[in-house]
């Protein structure tokens, strides 16, 4: 790891001479609010307080989106089961279909919405997403039959695909050197939603399984109405790009990621990381219940701890580490830390040892924002939505294939069907994926060419 620090100069981006005037109103650090300034640096002279709510709104948009998704997580299985006359087996299969469909919608529509934001601006896409999610959750709350609930899940996957637009907005208003911290703040919003959402959903669902949907709808609609008044557009008209289905479709969007060696290799790092993360999402509950006989409450608390460390690393550690050591260090350190964490998960023979592995696992929270920050430097203003949409499409692709990979590995590692009795196999596989990503990350971050901010 010593060479990561000494090679910081090697990773400094080559600045390409700017051939266009910067947007004087919206492409400046003053767009960041007071809370963001505490994370991203001191405000420059001549700040304009009237625009301060913009970055706050984007942060809370992501937070409320994740909070709403987390709120419905503990009650959706019960609601599905109620439509199937209490058949738990049928409900489990249907829940898997719901999850795959949601990921597929992310895969197909993230690049489309990202490209639309490059054409029409970030503001309309973000606001439409808020109102769309609100209407969708209302439909799911009042769904009279299972097909209606399924349609609602399809729409929620589509509207939640606006997350890349929020990322592009932050890239628009943040200088290159502070983007890792900005993306870290949005990752912290993911963590807050991951911690508070299921807890709130469980409490509200105890009153009525449809109540979390109603509360989620209210949060999204109120956020949309608030944004209508406070959210300015971040992408000037002269920097907008034409919309093309050839670029916006999921396969075509990969063309942007393959445009340079650095982008292509960083995309490979992300896909390995996203796939490894699927072990946590799909095997964690099964594994801890099988190996440690944890109760639902203990599992919920442990997942809350995972979310807390996500908040700590993303919100408070990314900025100082990237400032001192650079994005390259954070990417590689996060990958190695995550590999250690997953390995410890698999090796832990007792639940207590498992708890101690969580802080190592969550070092991956340093990798995501740092990688996205480097990738955003390789795209122009008019391509940030396209780029972030393509990145989120990778996450969606991992969400489609990951559950099948890790649940299959777990199924054949325990019980009578076990090929080898090794319950930790899914986590060993995840650790191997991250270790494979390390040398790819080393090559990818040797030199990154930056487009002028």
Give the DSSP letter string of 28-44. SGGGS-HHHHHHH-PPP
**pLDDT confidence bin for 338, thresholds 50/70/90:** very high
Determine whether 264 is exposed, middle or buried from the number of CB atoms within 10 Å of its CB (0-12, 13-18, 19+): middle
Report field, pTM of the whole predicted structure over 0.85:
no
Domain contains 322: yes
Domain membership of residue 38 (yes or no) is no
Is residue 310 helix, strand or coil? helix
Report pLDDT for 30.
37
Query: Which pLDDT belongs to residue 274?
Result: 94
Q: Assess contact for 310 and 369: CB atoms under 8 A.
A: no
Region 209-216: what's the mean pLDDT? 90
110 has pLDDT over 50:
yes
pLDDT band at 378 (very low <50, low <70, confident <90, very high): confident
Say yes or no to pLDDT of 336 above 90. Answer: yes
pLDDT one-digit tens code per residue, 241-277: 888 887 788 887 778 888 888 899 999 999 999 999 9
Q: What's the confidence (pLDDT) of residue 448?
A: 64
Domain that holds residue 309: 2-17+28-33+49-450
Question: What is the separation of C-alpha 446 from the centre of its chain, rounded to a whole number of angstroms?
Answer: 25
Above 80 in pLDDT, residue 161?
no
More confident of the two residues 194 and 450: 194
Average pLDDT over residues 76-83: 83
CATH of the domain at 425: 1.20.1250.20
The residues, any chain, with a CB within 8 Å of residue 93's CB and separated by 6 or more, are none
Residue 212 and residue 201 in contact, taking contact as beta carbons nearer than 8 Å: yes
Indicate the number of domains in the chain: 1
Banded pLDDT at 451 (limits 50, 70, 90): low
pLDDT digits (tens, 9 = 90+) for 123-156: 999 998 889 888 889 998 999 999 998 898 888 7
Share of the chain above pLDDT 90, in %: 29
């Amino acid at each position: 790891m010593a060479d990561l620090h000494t090679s910081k100069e090697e990773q400094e981006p080559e600045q390409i001479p700017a051939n266009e005037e910067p947007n004087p109103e919206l492409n400046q650090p003053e767009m960041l609010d007071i809370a963001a300034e505490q994370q991203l640096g001191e405000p420059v002279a001549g700040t304009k307080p009237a625009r301060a709510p913009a970055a706050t709104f984007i942060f809370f948009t992501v937070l409320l989106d994740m909070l709403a998704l987390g709120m419905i997580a503990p009650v959706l299985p019960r609601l599905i089961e109620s439509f199937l006359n209490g058949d738990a087996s049928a409900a489990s299969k249907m829940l898997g279909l719901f999850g795959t469909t949601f990921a597929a919608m992310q895969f197909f529509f993230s690049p489309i919405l990202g490209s639309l934001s490059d054409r029409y601006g970030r503001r309309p896409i973000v606001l439409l997403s808020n109102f769309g999610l609100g209407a969708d959750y209302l439909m799911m709350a009042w769904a009279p039959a299972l097909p209606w609930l399924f349609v609602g899940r399809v729409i929620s996957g589509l509207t939640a695909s606006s997350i890349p637009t929020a990322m592009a907005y932050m890239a628009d208003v943040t200088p290159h050197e502070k983007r890792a911290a900005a993306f870290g703040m949005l990752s912290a919003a993911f963590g807050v939603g991951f911690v508070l959402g299921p807890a709130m959903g469980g409490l509200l669902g105890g009153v009525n399984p449809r109540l979390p949907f109603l509360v989620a709808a209210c949060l999204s609609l109120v956020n949309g109405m608030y944004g209508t008044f406070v959210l300015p557009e971040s992408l000037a008209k002269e920097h907008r790009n034409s919309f093309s289905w050839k670029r916006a479709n999921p396969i075509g969007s990969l063309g942007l990621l393959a445009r340079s060696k650095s982008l292509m290799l960083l995309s490979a790092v992300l896909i390995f990381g996203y796939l490894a993360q699927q072990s946590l999402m799909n095997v964690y509950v099964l594994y801890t219940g099988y190996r440690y006989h944890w109760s639902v409450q203990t599992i919920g608390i442990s997942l809350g701890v995972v979310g807390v460390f996500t908040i700590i690393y993303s919100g408070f550690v990314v900025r100082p580490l990237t400032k001192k050591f650079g994005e390259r260090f954070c990417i590689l350190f996060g990958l190695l830390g995550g590999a250690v964490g997953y390995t410890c998960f698999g090796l832990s023979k007792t639940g207590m040892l498992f708890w101690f592995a969580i802080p190592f696992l969550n070092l991956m929270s340093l990798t995501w924002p740092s990688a996205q920050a480097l990738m955003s430097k390789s795209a122009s203003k008019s391509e940030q939505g396209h780029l972030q949409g393509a990145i989120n499409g990778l996450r969606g692709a991992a969400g489609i294939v990951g559950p099948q990979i890790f649940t299959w590995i777990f199924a054949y590692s325990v019980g009578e069907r076990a090929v080898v009795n090794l319950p930790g196999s899914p986590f060993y596989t995840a650790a191997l994926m991250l270790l494979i990503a390390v040398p790819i990350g080393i090559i990818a971050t040797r030199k990154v060419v930056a487009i002028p901010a």
